[in-house]
Amino acid sequence: MSLPFLLEIGTEEIPDWMITSALEDLREKFVALGIPHETARVDATPRRLVLRATGVPERQADSVERVQGPPKSAPPQAVEGFARKQGAAPTELAVETTPKGEYYVFHKKAAGRATKDILAAALPGMVLGIYFPKTMYWTGKGGPRFIRPIRWLVALLGGEVVPFEIGGVRSGSVSSGHRRLGAAEVPVTCADYERKLRENCVILSADERRQRIVDGLAGAKVDAVLLDTLVYLTEYPTAIEGGFDPAFLELPAEVLVTVMRHHQRYFSVEDADGKLLPRFFAVMNIGADPEGFVRRGNERVLRARFTDARFFWDSDQKKKLAERRKDLAAVTFQAKLGSYRDKARRMKALVKELGGKAAAVRAADLCKCDLTTELVKEFPELQGVVGGLYARAQGERADVWQAIYDHYKPVSMEDSIPRNAVGRIVALADKLDTLRGCFRVGLVPTGSRDPFALRRAAQGVVKILVEGGMALPLAGFLEGDAELTAFFQERVKFYFKDVRGFQYDEVNAAMAAGWSNLADLAARLERIRNLRQSPDFEPLAASFKRIRNILEQAKYEGGAGLSELLLEEEPEKELYREYRSILGQPIESVISRLRPKVDLFFDRVLVNAPLEEVRRNRLQLLYELRREFSKVADFSEIVTTS
């Protein structure tokens, strides 16, 4: 008989950002139990992780195990002993012929275990095995660990409870509703579970909660990350609209939006032109706010927050950014790398090396000064942005304040690079200085540990150089640090492969021809991608691989110039003439002419000529051919299908 299975792990409020990955893990762990089922779905609210399966058999299939005993020639005592050990009479044994001769065997029949028993034994370990980034214990030292205390467990296979216990909580058939709008105890069955929860103001489906929120956000900008947070922070979400004094709109929109989105988890509202309006949406974990208590409460909190921000904004203006430079000496960048004042000095020098002019030097000089402002102490996520806004208010040139504003960009692969050239140079100097310094003092990322976000910094450098079309020799700024160079090489590969979608062999081929100038590398990769469309490309790449192997086997690394007089056979001369005629032309325009000559050469000519002079000359021809066409990429790195 096939049954439905319901598991609900009832907990105290789980951090929203951990829930989706925990659910995926729960599903995988269930599947790994190997219990047959038709479907298995997972759902969650902050207070429950739920797995529901259908088509679970009541019992596992019966099985027969073949146990081999002594050989037929064994003394009767040994045969009896074997039978006794298997709990059988000697007459129940059979004799079978095996490759090694005739042996006694026993066919041990095992009735399939009840699925309920298997689940009862497996569920405690499965539940406690769900991965969370940080766990706690709550029943005392040595007790079970989970993300938050487990307070109830529902485990039903069909109509029966699957009995087990975790930390003193026994599984049963009683769930729990919304903390205040539902009943504390809600008896459920597999069939009515979701409906019973709904009657107790718990919406189990995350999609439905998301839709409920979105439906209430008339006109607001729907921030997907914030939306996800709220979906997993509520069991019964309802959006309400509030407003604030338009006088606060004098403050920069960046500050207002940060307060609303990051600190208060509100959606901000803009007009059709993208201008911030004095309104917001909050999402409650209850159904309605008929008296307006919740709206007014949130409005007051927001007013206090905005008043603080305005106070900081005004008091920060009393001391200009330029006057704060010396205060940076008291802000540690990293114990071994000195203060932010030291960093700013290094950045100024680096900006000049990168070709920056007065504006870039000015921006580098001021860009870290906002770390000493009250507003950044209050809203650390606005560092850079606040500096840029203050620089603008204090009359710095547009390119300078924009450079300060943007100099942490890009903060992710999705983020844009700084909007102007000055900003790009300052951003590069900031990141390169951090990378060089950290590698110099041994703070190198290992595995998943990267406390200084060096991968992100290097990725940012790559993105700026490529997308800013900056033809700078990256290798020249890595202080000859082999470890840092290898680190960057990985980041460059990652960028072109995973972010830009080039094939790995294209990336290897292009990088083998040099990768210090990333703008150039990007251009060459585009060319390879286009070349790949040509029917001549793969055969030619295969030939280049052959050339590489021949040269490697001969250990030939170039020698005396090519001698036309030593060319003997016609295909060889043809290839030489073709090579001379296309020298210096882009490979795109010659590929179709070159390929037949190369093919012919390999068809007809034996490189290993008996005469040493002739052999060397042929190797030299291949060597020069390869060198000439490897400026775009080392085509022998291309993986060919033929």
* Residue 289 binding another protein, by CB under 8 A: yes
Closest CB 280 distance from another protein, rounded Å: 10
Pick from 61, 136, 247, 441 the residue near another protein by CB under 8 A: 136
**609 vs 171: CA distance, rounded Å:** 83
Closest CB 7 distance from another protein, rounded Å: 20
* Residue 310 binding another protein, by CB under 8 A: no
> Site map for another protein, 227-246, x if CB under 8 A?
------xx------------
* Residue 330 binding another protein, by CB under 8 A: yes
Pick from 36, 129, 297, 558 the residue near another protein by CB under 8 A: 297
Q: Which is nearer to another protein, 238 or 459 (CB)?
A: 238
CA distances 42 to 5, 116, 176, 632, Å, are 12, 20, 18, 51
Q: Which is nearer to another protein, 165 or 490 (CB)?
A: 165
* Residue 308 binding another protein, by CB under 8 A: yes
- Return the axis-axis angle of helices 482-494 and 504-512, rounded to nearest 10°: 140
C-beta pairs of 100-105 under 8 Å, 24+ apart in sequence: 100/71, 101/71, 101/72, 102/71, 102/72, 102/73, 103/68, 103/69, 103/70, 103/71, 103/72, 104/68, 104/69, 104/70, 104/71, 104/72, 104/74, 104/79, 105/66, 105/67, 105/68, 105/69
Q: Is 222 helix (H, G, I), strand (E, B) or coil?
A: coil
Q: Which is nearer to another protein, 234 or 517 (CB)?
A: 234
* Residue 610 binding another protein, by CB under 8 A: no
* Residue 451 binding another protein, by CB under 8 A: no
Take residue 427 and report the two structure tokens written for it. 């951003």
* Residue 105 binding another protein, by CB under 8 A: no
Q: Which is nearer to another protein, 295 or 419 (CB)?
A: 295
The per-residue DSSP string of 443-469 comes to ---BTTB-TT-HHHHHHHHHHHHHHTT
Smallest CA-to-CA distance from 562 within 497, 619, 642 is with 619
Q: Which is nearer to another protein, 271 or 291 (CB)?
A: 291
C-beta pairs of 382-385 under 8 Å, 24+ apart in sequence: 382/254, 382/255, 382/258, 383/408, 384/408, 384/409, 385/254
Closest CB 297 distance from another protein, rounded Å: 3
Closest CB 76 distance from another protein, rounded Å: 56
Closest CB 218 distance from another protein, rounded Å: 20
Smallest CA-to-CA distance from 381 within 471, 255, 569 is with 255
* Residue 132 binding another protein, by CB under 8 A: no
* Residue 179 binding another protein, by CB under 8 A: yes
Pick from 20, 60, 139, 534 the residue near another protein by CB under 8 A: 139
* Residue 131 binding another protein, by CB under 8 A: no
Length of the chain: 642
Pick from 227, 301, 413, 566 the residue near another protein by CB under 8 A: 301
Q: Which residues bind another protein (CB under 8 A)?
A: 12-13, 15-17, 46, 134, 136-141, 148-149, 151, 179-181, 184, 233-234, 264, 266, 282, 284-286, 289-291, 293-294, 296-298, 300-304, 307-308, 311, 330-332, 335, 339
